[in-house]
Amino acid sequence: MNSGQNPFDDIANRLAGAIPPGLEHLRRDLQRNFRAILHSEFQRLGLVSREEFEVQSAVLRNTREQLEALEARVTLLEQQASAAPARGKSSKKKA
């Protein structure tokens, strides 16, 4: 696929290129129709561009890193909280 060309145009052109030579006059109309159908169906399927996919992947990666850091922090705080009452009870017994 030509990287500078819209993927819908590329697919529509390839489909139109398969039209037999005797039907060349229909090529432009078919290209337009192919492009519209492809665009509509890709939207209906919820497909996204590679660029949008990469952006969302980066956002997800960042979110996962933040979640892991927060989970580690919560674990540490839970450990500190469970150790604090034990220390408090032992100091009361000595008094």
Separation of alpha carbons 95 and 90, rounded Å: 9
Handedness of CA 90, 92, 93, 95 (dihedral sign): positive
What's the mean pLDDT when you consider all of the chain?
82
pLDDT tens-digit map of 17-53: 888 777 777 877 888 888 888 888 888 888 888 899 9
Using DSSP, state whether 44 is helix, strand or coil: helix
pTM: 0.50
Separation of alpha carbons 2 and 10, rounded Å: 7
The tokens describing 89, both together, are 């009870």
CB contact at 8 A, 33 and 15: no
